[in-house]
Every structure is written in C-alpha cells, then in structure tokens.
Structure 1
Amino acid sequence: IMEYKRGSTLRRGQWTAFVFLLMIVHQCVGDIRYSITEEIKRGSVVGRFSQDLGIDVKTLSTRRPRIEFEGNTRYCDINQKTGDLIVNERMDREELCGQRPSCALLFDFFLENPLELHRVTLEIQDVNDNFPTFPNEVIKLEISESAIKGERFSIDEALDTDTGVNSVQGYTLSANEHFTLSVHTSADTGKYAEIVLEHELDREKQDELSLILTAYDGGKPQKSGTVVIQVRVLDANDNVPVFTQSIYKVSVPENATLGTAVVTVSASDADEGANGELTYEFSHISIKTKNTFSLDPKSGEIKIKTMIDFEDTSSFELRVKAKDGAGQAASCKVIVDVADINDNAPVILIKSLKSPLPENSPAGTEVALIYVQDRDSESNSKVRCSIEQNTYFKLSPSIKKHISLITAVELDRETQSEYNITLIATDEGYPPLSSFQTITLIVSDVNDNQPVFDEQSYSAYVTENNKPGSSLCYVTARDRDWRQNGTVVYSLLASDVDGDPLKNLFLLDSKTGVINLAGPIDYEEQPIYELRVLAKDGAGLVSYTKVLIDITDVNDNAPVILIKTLTNPIPENVAPRALWPWR
C-alpha cells in the first residue's frame, strides 16, 4: 500500500532542533507512505519509487537514488535496476514497537540533479504470530467457604504481544458448578477476567477445585493459551488487600545505577494471621518492563534491574498485584517516567556530497547536505552548527531540518585544490556536548587559464649556412590549469618569404617549443626572419609570441665584376696605362 503526500511533513518525534536566523527554500516534493506486514522475506518489494514518483527507471538510476535510516540498521534498500524499495532486514513489529498501537519506520529517500528529499513512512502491520500467555503456569486461590454468591475474584491477565485484533480478545472458563466468568475491558490492560461465585462453597464436601481458564486472540487462525486455576476452600477471610494509592507516579533519571530504588508500593489487609500477610508481584506487564525492574515480593520495593535509556523508552507502566494468604488480591498502577539527561552528543550525518566540485561554481553552490540528530529531548536536543575557521564556506538551512554546506566565494583550483572542512555540532544541554565531522572537498579544474609565454618576444642569432636540424632557440608557455587543460602544444603560424613557406626553413617541436633549422638559410637572401608562435592548451585557449631570427653573415661570396655595355671605342694610339672614361 502506498500513499503520496505532496508538500506535507510527518512528525519526526523528539529529535534535532536547529537554531538559524536565515531561511531559504530548497526543492522538496513530498512524503511517501508504504505499508507492509511484519516478518516478510528479504528481497520482497515494498514499493516502486520509479512508478510512484513518475520517474522512468533509467532517469532514476542516473540521479543517484539512496535511502538513509536514522539508526544503524538498514531495514530496506533500493534495487538500482528496477527502482523498487525492497526488504533488506527482518522486521518484527513486537521488537520494533512493542505494544504501541501503531508502528512505523521513518527514513529519507534522496535524489540528486536536482536535489529532492522525500520522507518515507513505512508502517509495519501486525500478523498473528504470538500466542496468549499467562505469567504463571498455575493460579492458586484460597477462598473462604463463607464467600457469598456473586463475590468476585481477580485472576492474572494473559499477555499477547501482538496488537489489535491479534491481541487477547476474550476468555473462557471450563464447565464447573461453582464459578462463572466475567470478562472486562480496561484502557490500560485490555481484556481481563474475574471468576464469580455462583454456588456457595462447602469445605466439608469439597475442599479443592481445579478450573481451566483459556485466553484467545482474534487472529486468523485464532491462537489461545491456558492456565490452571487451583481453588482451595478455607475458613472465613473477610477482607481483601487495599493499596495506599491506586496510582504511583515517579520520575527516575536515565543514568540511574543498577539497584536504584524507584518506589515502594504498599497495601494492607485487615485480616489476621496468614490471611493478612501480603505478597507483591507484577501483573500484566511487557517482557521488556519485567526485565527492567525487580519487585521485592515482601516489601513491595521496586528497583532498577537493567540500565534504562530515555531515548529508548521515556515511560514505563507497571501493574503490581498484592495477594493475601487466601489468594484475594488487589492491584495498583505504577508509572515510571524516565528523566532525560544530556548523554547523547549530536551526530553529524553527511547525506550528500558533491566532490569534486568545479572551480567555476558560483558562490552559494551547495557542496553537501547535512543532517544533525541528537536523541536527547527539549534543550538537550537543540543543536547549533558551525564551521571551524573557514571563510570559504558557510551553512544554510535546507529542506526538512537538513543543513546545506554552501560555498561563500567562487573557488579557484589554482589557488587551492583541496579543502578539509570541519563541521562542529554543539547541543544546548548542560554540560553541552559536541561532535566533529571533517569533509574533504576536491576542487576540479575548469579551463579558465590560457597559456602564458615566459617572454613577450624571443630573439635568436644564427650564422648563415648552418646545418639543417641545428637548434636555434626554444619558447616556453605555462598554463595554470591541470592535466589536459594545462597541457600546452606549440605551432608556427602560416607565413612565407617570397612564396617559400617558413615551415620549409624552420621546424617547431610541438611539445618542447624548440625551434630548429629545417633547411639552408642565406643572409644575402634575407637577414632577419620574424616567426609567430601559437601556444594552445588542451581545451582550446591560445596565446601568441614573436620570435626574431637574426642571420649573421659569413664571407661566402667572391667579388664579381659586371660590365653591361661598352659605348666608347678606344683609339689604337692610346698610351699604355692611360685612363679612359666608360659610358
């Protein structure tokens, strides 16, 4: 059975209270309610998150679905393939909730991208898996033969740890000529019975009687339990025990030591001798309560037998019966309230953590979703949360008493790539208790830095006619980003000299930035070359620099005389070594 409540919030009980001045709104879609019977097998399907939330299974699996219980036991889990909520641990209603009329497990269901939190209530329905039982195998009564018709005698109630119709619904008494059965209903104890004298007893005719009392429940199939009532007929016993109080109410701190006296109940009987001697015993209490307290049968003093814990049980209800020597009895109620002390430090639970976080995430980005619980009550459970000496992050209220850890500034991986964030939770008890939790956040790189050359321009000198493959110089560019984003590759920009591409003259190593000669260079052809070098990182950001290659001349050319034309003829009588003008 599944019920979906949009925009509602279920009561969480006495858990954590947060103190904040700032309120913000996060996405929270609603609450989910499922119902199952106890003791169903592991792997059984409780509900279908995918279907109930209207999210296809593939999308659901990509949103990192998970459930978080407040205790250490994971009673349910998620089938990641189908999106089903399945049983993970045995669930016994009587162990989980005792005799409480309703029994439910509460847990959180998280989805991310975007963040959603659903509060899930899993109701555990009772099955009839327990028999009614009586506290003793035999009930012994001693009744005076002077007892008159209609006189009533109380008997021990039967206890069935199941609830509702599966608990004790009635009693039957075996056929006999002296007693009938009267069944009553009490808000405190449920069904209980008395035997009623119909025909007066005669000790001379019969001094002992044996009756069979049967208690039955309302389950299907019905279960029952029996007890023998042994009646001994005695001389007159005119009075029944009377308690000084019908209800005793006391308070005990949860740190009370074993053997601490809780209260002493007291009853009196006006009869003399054995008929006036009283003994005390527990009547109609749970196994847990019986294991927690001891009762002195003679003094009526109740003591603590096992450690009590307010967070486990805040109140106990005991019924004490006083019997006289003839078996006549009276009952009283003892209510033991457990006083809370501040014995639980807050517990910090990290429900969601986004690590690594991209460095370009804006201020206010949610890093983690946190829940702090304190099992104490009232002021002992009020918790203040803070961050230890950190200006980069802050806390903000989030959905359903959760806290968001958010960035206070935009982070820069190149400045700091990892943060250890210590959370502190302190309650308001006396003395206050604190707990600490450290979150490690990795800042992931984004390509927000372009390569930067060490120099604005570079110069190199080389003599002409140098051998191809000779190293001229190298350029260096650095990128503050990480891994691929910070990996720099070099290249020459396309250019040419008189139609001859520069790549035919110079080679640039793309990884090292070393520039080598690719072919012969001639000073007489061009004395200076200007190269443009590009540096590009792994994500495509670029920068540029200029490299001037200065060619040094060498004496590799002989003089050459060039005569274009001879226009003046030389006469034949010109003297030797005479100068003659050229035209």
Structure 2
Amino acid sequence: MTSGITMEQRRAENRVGRGRSARCVVAVFLWSVASAQLRYSISEEVSEGTVVGNIAKDLGLDKNALKSRKYRVVSVAADHLFHLNENDGILYVSRKIDREEVCAQNSACLINLKTVLENPLEVHNVGVEVLDINDHTPSFPEKEKTLDISESVLPGARFQLKPARDPDSSSFSVQQYKLSQNEHFRLEVREKEDDGKIPILVLQKSLDREITRGISLVLTALDGGKPPKSGDMKIFVNVLDVNDNTPIFSKNAYSASLFENAPVGTTVIQVNATDMDDGQNGEVVYSFGNSVSNNIFNLFKIDQITGQITVKTPIDYEQKDKYEIEIQASDKGFAPLTTEKSVIIKIVDVNDNAPEIEVTSFSSSIPENSRPGTTVALISVNDLDSGLNGKVICSITEDVPFSLSPSLQDKMFSLVTKSPLDREKQAHYDLTITAKDAGQPPLSSEKTISVVVSDINDNSPEFSLSPYTFYITEGNDPGASVFSVKASDCDEGENALISYQIFRIGDEHNKIASFININPETGGIVALKSFDFERLKTFQFQVVATDSGAPSLSSNVTVNVFILDQNDNAPVILYPVSSNGSAEGVEEIPRNVNAGHLTSSLVR
C-alpha cells in the first residue's frame, strides 16, 4: 500500500538520499487489518506543538470515522515525545526533542510510535525521522597534550591522539582535522567503526634534540556544518634522547570469547610484549589505547604489569556482542616507546532474558454470537536474547474457546475465538498466555487477560408450568387477584426483562377472557366479574410473555380455569298445574285420617 506522504516529506526524503548519515532515522512499518506505511520528518529542537503530520488524512481515514472511533497513541516509549489529537488525527510534538538525548545509546535511534484506531481494531505504526541540526561544537577530551618523542625515532613513526567528540550525528559530527603548519609532522586520519575519525601524528622529518628541544602544534577538529564549527587541542612535543626499541607483541592478533554475565574478575585474555632494550627502556607496561572509549574502561580493566584483561562489571550481550580494544605496550624509558595491538572480544549470549508479552489491542467484551475467528486481541512477544535463546513459542490456556493465530508480522499473534460462545453457560474467561523461549534451560513469562462474553437476546421466556390449571370459587369478588403466572429468561439485562399480556382473539370462546386482566410486570391475574358456577363451569385463555430485547422474543401458555360450586341456591318445590289452574294432586285431608295416610307426592 502506498504511504500517505506530503510534498514536504518527499523533499525530506530527497535530503535523506544526500545526507542520510546526518539523521536519526526512525524506521517503522504500519500493520493493521489493512497494512499501510507512513513516515514523517522533523528537525530536532522544534517548538512544542509543531505539527508532525496528519495521520488520519495521509491514511485516507474518513472524518466521520474519527468521531465514532477512538484514535490514540499506545507506544510507551514515544508517548512523551508526541501527542495525537484523537478528533482529527493530527500528530504534534509534545516537547522539544533533543536528538542527542533521544539517540544517546544508538545513532540509529529507532522510536516505535504505535497508534490504534478502535472498533474495529487497526494498528498503525508511524515512522518519524528526526533531522539533526548542528548545535554542538567538536571538543577534545584534553585541551593540551604533551608527547615525549625520542630524537632517534625514524620518520614515519605514528602517534595516535585521542579523537575529538561531537554529539551531533553524521555530517554534523567531526569530519576532518587540521594540523598547524610545521616541518616535522603531518596529520593522518584513520577511520574506525566505533570511534569515528582518529587523528594520528606522523613524523615526516627526523627530530634533533640539539637543534629543537620542543615543538608546539595546534590540532583543529571541524564538523560538517555550513559554516563548520571547530575545536582545538594544543600539542607540545618534548624531544627526548635515545630509547630506540619499541615493545613487540608476541602475537599478530588477539581474540577471545566471553560469556555474558561472567563474574567480575573473570580473566578474558592476557597479552604479552617484549622490549630488547635494557633497564627501564626494556620494562614493558600495558594500558588501554588512547582511542578506547569510556565504556570500555567501565567494562574491562588491564593489569599494567601482566597484561591480563579482566571483567570489571558484568557484560550484557544484548547491548553489544563484540568489542575491539586497542592495547598499548610501552617501555619505561625516559622517552617511552609504545606499540599498539587490537584485541577482539566476542560476547557469547546466554539465556538471561525471559520473553516479554505485550497486548497491543484488546476488546475486553465480545458478544456471545461472535463467529469463530473473531479477533479479541493482538499480542506481540519479544525476547532480547539471540538464536534459540530468542526463539519464542506462544501458547494459551487449554479447554477454552479461544486460540492464538500467528500474524503476518513477525512475533505477532491474534487472539481469536475458535468455537461458538454461550454466555448462559460461561460469561467470563481468564485467559493465560504463556511465552517460552527455546533456550536451555528455557525461560517463560505469562500474562492473563480477562474476556467478558456479552449477552444477546437468544433465549425466549419460559413459563414455570405449561399449561396452568387454576380453580376459582364462584361468587368471587370482582377486581381481586385470583391467581398468577410466572416466566423466566436466561438472558440478562433488557433481554431478560419480561412483560405479560393476555392473548385476546375475537371468537366466542375467548369472550370470557375479556373478564380477565393481568399485571404486565408481575403476571398477577384478576377477575373483573364474579363467576357463577350455574352459568359457567370452566374456560381457558392464553398468556403471552415477551422480553425487552431487540428484537424481542416471546412464548405463550394456556391457562385452564375451573369454577367451583358453592351452596348458594335453596331447594325449590314444584307442583304440576292442571288445565283449570288448580294444583294437581292437592286434596283435602279428611278430619278422621289415620296417621301415615299419603296425602300427595312432591315433585322436586
């Protein structure tokens, strides 16, 4: 994908081609659901609030998307240098950036500025190129230097000096040296990988102490600025009498291997040199060369008498895997002669760094209807060790519906769902991610993240009984509660909030239901009239329970109601009536009737 780069950025890229070594380059690649790459350039010391670039515009992000999606910087290492406006996607400088401070440990100076656009997740890695300005002057570690040189030294002899230092980078660092005009010495400059340009005085005309006892020189260091800045060191050459043999090392080259974290005092290597002169002119002492940096003095020390190099402080392979040290062998003559030899020390990695796990993007809540393969989080792992010690295997808790899927980007994994989720069975997962390296013995680290399964309305209300059967004694009080129904829903929140209603249709059978009412919240049912067993002995109706989800789900149940009889009617005697209107079967009772005489029969 083509990066969104402004015209100013393209002009900066052209300048990169002409003077790349003068810059602190921040090189990062952007990865997200849709991969992209951005790079900006700014000069150091720009004012706070300076615009670096419009990330949203250069990525082609819709302005409306920024209103509904949160856009922010998640890089811990760079959040104090830059600020991202989450509303318009413009990247600003948070404070003045001193390139020499940011790049103090490494001239490559890589800053990972990682941004995240959420819902859905997009990770954008943005490269910011900090351009150096010439704000430092070259300076020598010594303002004055005295060299004791014997008159017997032949032309061609070389005297290495401590280089000048300039905190600026590349073309703005020390580019050349100049030596004041004289007839005895010329200047030679040697390039060294770690220490830059090393000035060397070369004797081009023999010294004669009887003619000249001392020579004053001025060595000037200039950087590549326009105009250049410079610094001076005064050199006084003291011409001494004859000590005509220099120490000679026993080997042409010295090298050694050293395990990182070796105990203090561990012997690394021992050098040896001899001098054919007699007396003090033949006694050899050892020291580090003038070009050795302060870092070497902090890590190693050399015995002046034996030439044994030992560990001064623990060595870390992850900081540097090889050291080249200049060793000097000097005699004790009145005009000491010195020979230099390089010692190469290779640091051997040990498995002393556990893998690091970083959750770059994370959705703590995921709907239960998410399809398998839905991304929950982006995980990055890193191990500072090398080789097998730095090879990391990442795994996740077993027996969970989640898995780790390797990303196209190295050492990146996606935490995804691997099977359907059901909140009603399990609503929360604590997922433990384990990263283990391949070292011996292996080191590992763990990180636990919590994932909440959010509810969807996938369960209908369920009645406690089906059907319901209730009995009502006739003569009930109208408006009084007679019975109730109850339904439950396995969902939660609005999805489980139930309301009740009576299902009413227009047929004759359900007209009775019009005399029944239900509380929509509790399911309590009241009779709006008093029932009479002699007129109605039983009836049925249906109740519908509906949840409040969107869309809502419902279920219904049949309610059977039986009316119970009460003794609320007195017996009635019925007589047949004749055609003339008199009661049949009624007769007068004679006065002399005996007891037990049948007078009439009753019809009930």
TM-score (norm: length of structure 2): 0.81
The structure 2 residue matched to 1:541, chosen from 548, 553, 562, is: 553
Report if the CA contact (8 A) 2:32-2:123 is conserved.
Answer: no
Q: Does the CA-based 8 Å contact 1:27-1:399 persist in structure 2?
A: no
After superposition, the Cα gap between the structure-2 partners of 1:3 and 1:221, relative to the gap in structure 1 and judged at 3 Å, is farther
Structure 1 residue 500: deviation in Å? 9.9
State whether structure 2 residue 447 is matched by structure 1 residue 437.
Answer: yes
Shift in Å, 1:351: 1.7
In the TM superposition, what is the alpha-carbon distance from 1:26 to its structure 2 partner? 8.3
Q: Which amino acid aligns with 1:319?
A: E
Instruction: Measure how far apart 1:83 and its partner are.
Output: 1.3
Q: Select the residue among 273, 288, 291 that pairs with 1:284.
A: 291
**Residue 318, structure 1, aligned to residue 325, structure 2:** yes
Secondary structure at the counterpart of residue 235 of structure 2: strand
Contact kept, 8 Å, 1:42 with 1:90, in 2: the verdict is: yes
Name the counterpart of 1:411. Answer: 421
**C-alpha offsets along residues 461-497 of structure 1, whole Å, 9 cap, x if unaligned?**
2222211232211111111001110111111122579
Structure with larger RCO (C-alpha < 8 A, sep 6+): 1
Task: Select which of 299, 304, 310 maps to 1:303.
Answer: 310
Question: CA 1:64–1:357 in 2, change beyond 3 Å: closer, same or farther?
Answer: same
CA shift at 1:400, angstroms? 0.6
Determine whether 1:511 maps to 2:511: no
- How big is the shift at 1:406? 1.9
Match of 2:494 in 1: 484
| Whole-angstrom distance in 2 between the partners of 1:227 and 1:575 | 159
Query: In the alignment, does 2:389 pair up with 1:376?
Result: no
Q: Does 1:465 align with 2:475?
A: yes
Q: How many angstroms apart in 2 are the aligned matches of 1:94 and 1:244?
A: 42
**Could you tell me which amino acid in structure 2 is paired with residue 353 of structure 1?**
F
Alpha-carbon shift at residue 553 of structure 1 (Å): 3.2
How many Å separate the matches in 1 of 2:302 and 2:46?
A: 38
What does residue range 227-266 of structure 1 map to in structure 2 within 5 Å? Answer: 227-245=233-251, 247-266=253-272
Pick one of 221, 225, 231 that aligns with 1:219: 225
The 1:199–1:282 alpha-carbon spacing in structure 2 relative to 1, beyond 3 Å, is closer
Match of 1:393 in 2: 402
Question: Relative to structure 2, which stretch is displaced further, 495-504 or 338-347?
Answer: 495-504
Select the residue among 160, 169, 192 that pairs with 2:166.
160
Alpha carbons 1:104, 1:124 under 8 Å: kept? no
Alignment match, 1:131: 137
1:453 is aligned to 2:463: yes
Unaligned runs of 5+ in 1: 14-24
Q: Match of 2:540? A: 530
Distance 1:412 1:433, change over 3 A: same
Which of the residues 206, 214, 225 maps onto 1:208? 214
Shift of 1:55: 0.7
C-alpha contact (below 8 Å) 1:179/1:195 kept by paired residues: no
- Structure 1 residues 570, 440: CA separation in 2 closer, same or farther (over 3 Å shift)? closer
**Residues 73/138 of structure 1: CA separation in 2 closer, same or farther (3 Å cut):** farther
Q: Is the 8 A contact 1:139 1:156 kept in 2?
A: no
**1:354 Cα deviation from its structure 2 partner:** 1.9
How far has the Cα of 1:458 moved from its partner? 1.2
Gaps of 5+ in 2: 6-25, 589-598
Which residues of 2 match residues 26-65 of structure 1 at below 5 A? Answer: 27-38=33-44, 40=46, 43-60=49-66, 62-65=68-71
Asked if the contact 2:461–2:546 (Cα under 8 Å) also holds between the matched residues in 1, the reply is yes
Number of equivalenced pairs: 559
Aligned pairs for 1:93-132 (under 5 A) are: 93-94=99-100, 97=103, 102-132=108-138
1:348 to 347, 354, 357: 357
Note closer, same or farther for the CA distance 1:427–1:458 as it changes in structure 2 (3 Å cut).
same
Structure 2 residue identity aligned to 1:406: V
1:179 counterpart = 2:184: yes
8 Å CA contact 1:505, 1:520 repeated in 2: no
1:293 corresponding residue in structure 2: 300
CA distance 1:100–1:514, shift in 2 (3 Å): closer
- Name whichever of 462-471 and 533-542 sits farther off: 462-471
What is the aligned counterpart of 1:334 among 327, 343, 347?
A: 343
TM-score of the aligned structures, taking structure 1 as reference length:
0.84
Q: Identity percentage over the alignment?
A: 40
CA separation in 1, counterparts of 2:167 and 2:283? Answer: 33
Greater mean alpha carbon deviation, residues 496-505 or residues 521-530: 496-505
Q: Distance in 1 between matches of 2:93 and 2:386?
A: 31
Q: CA deviation at 1:502?
A: 5.3
- Tell me by how many angstroms 1:344 deviates: 0.9
> 2:93, 2:293 → 1: CA distance?
28
When residues 298 and 80 of structure 1 are mapped into structure 2, their CA distance, relative to the original with a 3 A threshold, is farther
Letter in 1 for 2:197: K
Asked whether the equivalents of residues 424 and 435 of structure 1 are also in contact (C-alpha less than 8 Å), the reply is yes
Change (3 A) 1:282 1:115: same
Contact preservation (8 Å) 1:143, 1:237: no
Q: Which moved more, 1:265-274 or 1:463-472?
A: 265-274
Counterpart CA distance in 2 for 1:314 and 1:525 is 103
Question: Alpha carbons of 1:81 and 1:498: their partners in 2 closer, same or farther (altered >3 Å)?
Answer: closer
- Maintained 8 Å contact 1:154/1:328: no
Letter in 2 for 1:56: D
The answer on whether the counterparts of 1:496 and 1:502 sit within 8 Å (CA) in structure 2 is no
Matches of 1:58 and 1:285, distance apart in 2: 58
Q: Secondary structure at the match of 1:473?
A: strand
Quick one: structure 1 residues 282 and 497, their matched pair in 2 at CA, closer, same or farther if it must change by over 3 Å?
Answer: same
Root mean square deviation, CA, Å: 3.7
TM-aligned CA deviation for residue 529 of structure 1 = 2.8
- Single out whichever of 72-81 and 457-466 deviates more from structure 2: 72-81
Alpha-carbon distance change, 452 to 317 in structure 1, aligned in 2, over 3 angstroms = same
Residue by residue over 1:328-361, the C-alpha shift from the partner in whole angstroms, topping out at 9 and shown as x without a partner, is 4433323322211111111121122222111111
The whole-number CA distance in structure 2 between the counterparts of 1:40 and 1:253 is: 43
Match for 2:434 among 416, 421, 424? 424
Q: Which stretch of structure 1 is more off in the superposition, 405-414 or 31-40?
A: 31-40
CA displacement, residues 23-73 of structure 1 (integer Å, 9 cap, x when unaligned): xx9834133333334455555443321122111344146444344548698
> How far did residue 254 of structure 1 move?
1.2
Give 3-state SS (helix, strand or coil) of 1:195's partner: strand
Moved more, 60-69 or 330-339: 60-69
